[in-house]
Amino acid sequence: MKRAVIIFTRVPEPGKTKTRMMPHLSPVQCARLHTCFLKDIVMECRNGGADVFVSYTPEEGWKTLKNILGEVKGWIPQTGKHLGERMYGAMKEVLDQKYDSCLLIGADVPELEVKILKKAFDVLETEDVVFGKTVDGGYYLTGMKQPVKEAFSLDTYGHGKVLEETVLKIESAGFSVGFTDTLSDMDTPKDLRGYKKRMLEDVRLKESFTGRYLAKISKISIIIPIYNESRTIEKMQRQLLPLLGKCEILFVDGGSTDDTLEKISPRFQIIRSEKGRAWQMNKGAEQSTGDILFFLHCDSELPDHPLERMRKVMRDYGAGCFGIAFHSRNFFMFTCRVISNHRIKDRKVMFGDQGIFLDRDLFFEAGRFPEIPIMEDYQFSLTLKEMGVKLGMADRRIYTSDRRFPKGTIPKLKLMWRMNRLRKMYRDQEDIEKIAQMYRDVR
């Protein structure tokens, strides 16, 4: 059997491809992402044993595509006024070269596998036309043994009934239709978040060109709840200045009454919220745009390259945090550090001062931080644990202030014991207002 596959694409040019990803991705990132799609797709096509053709536009971009895809059987400039005409022209040109069957695939399906192509060719053994459905009602693949003009006769594409209407036209003309596997095409930031979620369970996606690039460029939103942080706000800004332009940074103020807000540079965005860490962090998350949400306390000290360290963790996990450390040399502060870091691995629980970061969709799926006066981070960790979410830990620690701890070894030990008691009271469902008052008293 003489078989062919046509990759139907435009040239990856900044500002002209994957534009529905903007402004979440920059024009350059959109073009590079499209390039990764093409590299993954052509690899699967070559592994399928069929001859590979590329139908492309604009015509002057041929050299760019050749650098991306390498040698193929043939290059076919797209011609025709409408999308259907261009697809039909490419299909007819290849089938006229005496191929027994030919598949045409779009460039928005980096999850394409060779087994899907083989299944499509198998369907053509008994059916006239084959389609690969997309979850949004369109199709990413079509194939046939002879040119079927009715398969490309719609007036418009890009709506939710493209496949349904196309199949109706084909069957009305007397041709039979079959299907291969359904895939998700990558058109919007939401589609990319779905892909990254599937990456956690699929090593093939994680190691693909697309997977590696998405892990590298995942947008991070840093959300810092603040309230009367005059003593810490300037130090935090000095840490964040090198990250401006590399991530989104949101200070969420709960109604500060000191000079905190006056000290914040206009280069940083400030969001107003009602007072309460849970309320403030949720408000920041709602107004953020990142793929990864990072909740950071204002008195924390970040390690070097924090964005890269978080992205590394998020390649394998849906949520994570940094290990914690204190500058204090007190033995019981060292003990606190060891216990806190061990808790993440052993009990799967992380606290806010460790710098919680997680997938955006997972945050909202988990119901956000519970809007309670205390223990919001503890309860959120318990919720993730109930959901079966695996936690990762970054390879560097985040330093946090020991200002909440009293001076002296014995007072420190008593405070640790009391905090454990408060958490037990919370697990035992005692009144949250009572626990909050006891927390204020021990602090």
What per-residue confidence (pLDDT) applies to 441?
Answer: 47
In a shared domain, residues 242 and 389:
yes
**Residue 155 placed within a domain:** yes
Dihedral sign of CA atoms 205, 83, 22, 182 in order:
negative
Distance CA 275, CA 280 (A): 7
Task: Give the predicted TM-score (pTM) of the model.
Answer: 0.84
Is there a single domain that holds both residue 224 and residue 108? no
- Give the torsion through C-alpha atoms of 92, 94, 100, 105, to 10 deg: -90
**Residues 131/177, Cβ–Cβ less than 8 Å:** yes
149 and 92 share one domain: yes
- Structural domain contains residue 434: no
Which two structure tokens, joined as six digits, stand for 217?
A: 């460029």
Are 375 and 423 spatial neighbours (Cβ–Cβ below 8 Å)?
yes
* Judgement on whether residues 247 and 178 belong to the same structural domain of the protein: no
Cβ distance 13 to 19 under 8 Å? no
**Size of the chain, expressed as the number of residues it contains:** 443
Q: Is residue 308 part of a domain?
A: yes
Write down the pLDDT at residue 431.
Answer: 73
Domain stop point among 130, 165, 186: 186
- Read off the amino acid at residue 54: V
First to last CA, the chain: 78
CA distance 59 to 402: 64
List b or e across 128-161, with b for residues whose CB sees 16 or more CB atoms inside 10 angstroms. Answer: bbbbbbbebebbbbbbbbebbebbbbbeeeeeee
Q: Kindly report the CA angle at 263 between 262 and 264, in degrees rounded to 5?
A: 95
* Residue 364 pLDDT: 97
Q: CB neighbours of 415 closer than 8 A, spacing ≥ 6?
A: 405, 406, 442
Shared domain for 147 and 245, answered yes or no, is no
The reply to whether 222 and 366 lie within a common domain is: yes
Q: What is the pLDDT at residue 33?
A: 97
Assess whether 223 and 181 both reside in one domain: no
**Residue 170 covered by a domain:** yes
Structural domain tally of the chain? 2
Contact (Cβ atoms closer than 8 angstroms) between residue 340 and residue 438 = no
Q: Which residues of 368-406 are buried (b: 16+ CB within 10 A; e: fewer)?
A: bbbebbbbbbbbbbbbbeeeebebbbbeebbbbbbeebe
Q: Which of 188, 178, 95 is nearest to 141 (CA)?
A: 178
Residues 78 and 172 in one domain: yes
Same domain, 108 and 241: no
Question: 3-state DSSP call for residue 17?
Answer: coil
Instruction: Please state, in angstroms and rounded to a whole number, the distance separating the CA atoms of residues 417 and 98.
Output: 80
- The answer to whether position 430 is within a domain reads no
Name which of 321, 317, 109 is nearest 201 in CA terms. 317
Question: 340 lies in a domain?
Answer: yes
**Domain shared by 293 and 167, yes or no:** no
In a domain, 443, yes or no: no
C-alpha to C-alpha distance for 227 and 270, rounded to whole angstroms = 12
CATH assignment at residue 97: 3.90.550.10
Are residues 11 and 141 located together in one domain of the fold? yes
Is residue 44 within a helix (H) or strand (E), and if so which, with residue range?
Answer: helix 27-47
**3-state SS of the chain: helix, strand, coil percent to 5?**
45, 20, 35
Distance CA 127, CA 132 (A): 14
Q: Which domain holds residue 298?
A: 218-403
State which residues of the chain have pLDDT below 50.
441-443
Domain co-membership, 132 together with 260: no
Tokens read off for 412? 């420190």
- CB–CB of 398/355 below 8 Å? yes
Residue 83, domain member (yes or no): yes
- Identity (one letter) of the amino acid at 106? G
pLDDT of residue 442: 41
Q: Token pair of 301, please?
A: 């000290």
